[in-house]
Every structure is written in structure tokens, then in C-alpha cells.
């Protein structure tokens, strides 16, 4: 190449000294070929052009909540979150006051997340109760002292939520989010272990609600949410079998772990869940407690809490599978929109109260 062409923008790459040494090493000439370097340069320039071309109204504050799930954890780096929101035509706002990391809820170092295999379900629930109390306090602290002040100041006008934690805690996080701020929820995809919502080439998966057991006790009901897996009817806890029961499941596909591989499918699930809650307002005005047995992806758990209105909808009792049985672990309170760990579920259900 002529010397005068080498410094033109189309042929120039600015690197630090260490990267120059790597690329220019003789042993790397067949790795960092001209074609590959031009492709890397083009991809980088396209990304920067895309991000800098977004207006201020496309800014989003990243909220990351990360905790182990039965002893397993994943990486959710700042860069992974940034790549995901850029793919949705937004740029991540990592505020200086938040240490340039957005809003982080770290549950990784709270003891007691794992329960001992082989113990009874009630023992397992008791063993995790302290963990939930501590986790809820961490979530409350971050929401109250970081996210809400930013919303009040007007510096947060859009939120992008990334969560990897036990399902009840994700429901709780969704319940603590501000309904007045537009929010996108992200999903970790098993196919490629990425948080990026892929481009949607087909319509999303639709969901349907069906009632499988008629009303008995008027002020309580059960909803089984079969999305990523299927909870059978015989798995319903014995003290709930007399309640009216609903099932939410895919209408156009089978349940599977990665069923929400498109953002449109998550939105359709949200519409179905909101529609079900609205239906309860009309059909079951006396309903004060809704027992929720979820088999859902992580993003759908956030949506379950986010759609709940504390002054309109019945209290949600979130169940979790522990030691082979479904037990109540957290409650989304009706008035305060708070989750209360424990098994304080009111008076025992009276099967003789049918039609009361």
C-alpha cells in the first residue's frame, strides 16, 4: 500500500502498544489477517455509529440482580448487559453516582441459599427462610437508596432489568419496580448463554388461561403457570386442592426451558398475565389471596411481580419447589407491595366453606 494511503481513516486502526505487539507478531500473521482486521474495524465502527446515533431518549439505566440458584451462578458482567441493551437500540446509562455500574443487587454472598438434599419440604423451607429475609433486605436497600432517588430526580427515565436468582426473589424485584417508568426485562438464553434478545423472525408464542377446577373457597384461588416446564395437578399441595384452580400455558407451542427466546413471547406472556389479573377483578371480587405455582423462565418471574398492583389485585403467595414439593416461600402483600418471607398464610382452608 502506498504510504500516503496508510494514514487514511479507512485504513487506520489505533491500538495500544501491547495490542500492536500481539497483532504484528510474526507468529500471528496468519491469525490477524488483513481481511480479519478490516472486519473487526468495520464491526467496531458500526457499533459506535449505532450507539452515538441514539438520542438521549434512548438511554436506559441498567439494573442487574445476581444470585445463586440452588448453588449455581452465572456471570452477568457490565459488558454483557451493555451489549444486550445496544442490540435493542438503546445505550446503557451507567451513572457516576452508581459507580458507573448502573444499579447492582448482589445476592451472591448471602449465606444459606442452598438447602440440604433429602430433607423434608418444610425443613427445606425453614432452611431457606433466613436467606430470603436477608435477600429481601438487600433488594429493598438498593431500590430505596439508588433506583428510587434516581427516578425522583428525573435522571432515570427508562430501566433495563437483568436478573439471575431464585424465582420468588425475581417476582419480588418485579414488584418493587416503579410502574411509572418504562421497563425492559432481559432473559438469559440457554441456546447461546447470551442476554441479547435475538432478532424476531416469526411471531412470538401465545399463551392461554383455562380453569380446571370450579370455585369452592371464594376468597382464595390457585394459578399454575406452566411456561418453561409443566407442574402436574397431583403436585398441587394438599391444603390447596379445594381451591378454584387455573392454568396458564402456551397456546401455540409446548413448554420448554427456552420458550421465551424472543422478546415478543415475553410481551405476550405479560399480556396474558395482566389479562388474567383483570379477569379476577371482574369474576372474583372477593378474592384476597392467589397462590402462584410458577414453572417459568427468569424474565417471566420478574413480569409476574411487575404486573401486580397492590391496591387492586389479591395478595400473591409465591411457591417454590423444595425437596420435591411445592411450598410457599414469599408473599407479595396486597397493601404495601412487599414480600413477607415465611409460611404465615392465614387460617387453614375450610373445605366446608364452598359457596360461602
Q: Which residues contact 34 (CB under 8 A, 6 or more apart)?
A: none
Q: What is the pLDDT of residue 215?
A: 63
Backbone angles phi and psi of 150, in degrees to 5: -65, -40
Helix (H) or strand (E) holding 244: strand 244-250
pLDDT at 89: 86
- pLDDT value for 216: 63
Cell 432517588, residue located? 149
pLDDT at 174: 96
Which residue shows C-alpha cell 491469525? 31
Angle at which helices 167-176 and 121-142 cross, to 10°: 30
Positive or negative, the CA dihedral 212, 250, 169, 333 is negative
pLDDT for the residue 58:
83
* pLDDT string in tens for the chain (356-residue length): 888 888 888 888 888 888 889 888 988 889 999 899 988 888 888 777 766 766 667 889 999 999 988 777 788 888 889 889 988 888 887 644 444 456 889 999 888 776 544 455 566 656 677 888 899 999 999 999 989 988 888 888 899 999 999 999 999 999 999 888 999 999 998 888 899 998 876 788 999 999 988 766 678 999 999 999 999 999 999 999 989 999 999 998 999 999 999 999 999 999 999 999 999 999 888 899 999 999 999 999 999 999 998 888 999 999 998 878 899 989 986 544 444 444 444 344 443 333 32
310, 336 Cβ separation under 8 angstroms: yes
d(CA 103, CA 99): 9
Residue with cell 418493587: 176
CA 272 and chain centroid, separation? 17
Question: C-alpha distances in angstroms, 67 versus 305, 328, 329, 345?
Answer: 18, 20, 17, 27
Contacts (Cβ under 8 Å, ≥6 apart) of 131: 110, 111, 112, 113
| pLDDT of amino acid 94 | 61
Cα separation, 118 vs 322, whole angstroms: 10
Give the pLDDT of residue 213.
80
Amino acid at each position: 500500500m502506498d504510504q500516503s494511503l496508510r494514514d487514511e481513516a479507512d485504513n487506520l486502526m489505533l491500538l495500544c502498544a501491547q495490542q500492536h505487539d500481539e497483532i504484528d507478531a510474526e507468529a500471528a500473521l496468519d491469525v490477524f489477517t488483513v481481511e480479519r482486521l478490516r472486519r473487526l474495524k468495520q464491526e467496531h465502527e458500526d457499533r459506535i455509529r449505532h450507539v452515538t446515533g441514539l438520542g438521549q431518549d434512548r438511554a436506559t439505566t441498567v439494573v442487574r440482580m445476581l444470585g445463586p440458584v440452588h448453588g449455581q451462578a452465572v456471570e452477568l458482567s457490565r459488558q454483557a448487559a451493555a451489549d444486550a441493551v445496544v442490540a435493542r437500540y438503546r445505550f446503557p446509562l451507567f451513572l457516576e453516582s452508581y459507580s458507573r455500574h448502573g444499579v447492582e443487587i448482589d445476592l451472591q454472598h448471602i449465606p444459606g441459599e442452598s438447602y440440604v438434599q433429602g430433607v423434608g419440604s418444610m425443613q427445606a423451607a425453614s432452611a431457606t427462610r433466613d436467606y430470603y429475609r436477608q435477600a429481601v433486605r438487600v433488594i429493598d436497600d438498593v431500590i430505596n437508596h439508588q433506583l428510587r432517588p434516581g427516578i425522583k430526580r428525573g435522571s432515570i427515565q427508562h430501566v433495563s432489568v437483568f436478573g439471575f436468582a431464585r424465582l420468588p426473589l425475581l417476582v419480588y424485584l418485579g414488584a418493587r419496580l416503579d410502574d411509572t417508568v418504562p421497563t425492559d426485562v432481559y432473559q438469559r438464553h440457554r441456546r447461546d448463554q447470551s442476554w441479547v434478545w435475538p432478532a424476531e423472525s416469526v411471531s412470538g408464542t401465545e399463551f392461554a388461561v383455562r380453569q380446571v377446577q370450579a370455585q369452592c373457597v371464594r376468597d382464595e384461588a390457585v394459578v399454575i403457570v406452566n411456561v418453561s416446564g409443566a407442574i402436574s395437578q397431583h403436585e398441587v399441595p394438599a391444603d390447596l386442592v379445594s381451591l378454584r384452580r387455573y392454568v396458564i400455558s402456551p397456546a401455540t407451542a409446548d413448554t420448554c426451558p427456552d420458550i421465551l427466546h424472543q422478546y415478543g413471547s415475553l410481551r405476550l406472556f405479560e399480556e396474558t398475565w395482566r389479562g388474567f389479573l383483570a379477569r379476577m377483578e371482574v369474576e372474583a371480587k372477593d378474592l384476597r389471596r392467589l397462590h402462584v405455582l410458577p414453572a417459568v423462565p427468569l424474565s417471566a418471574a420478574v413480569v409476574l411481580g411487575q404486573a401486580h398492583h397492590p391496591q387492586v389485585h389479591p395478595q400473591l403467595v409465591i411457591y417454590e419447589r423444595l425437596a420435591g414439593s411445592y411450598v410457599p416461600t414469599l408473599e407479595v402483600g396486597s397493601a404495601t407491595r412487599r414480600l413477607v418471607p415465611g409460611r404465615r398464610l392465614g387460617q387453614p382452608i375450610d373445605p366446608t366453606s364452598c359457596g360461602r
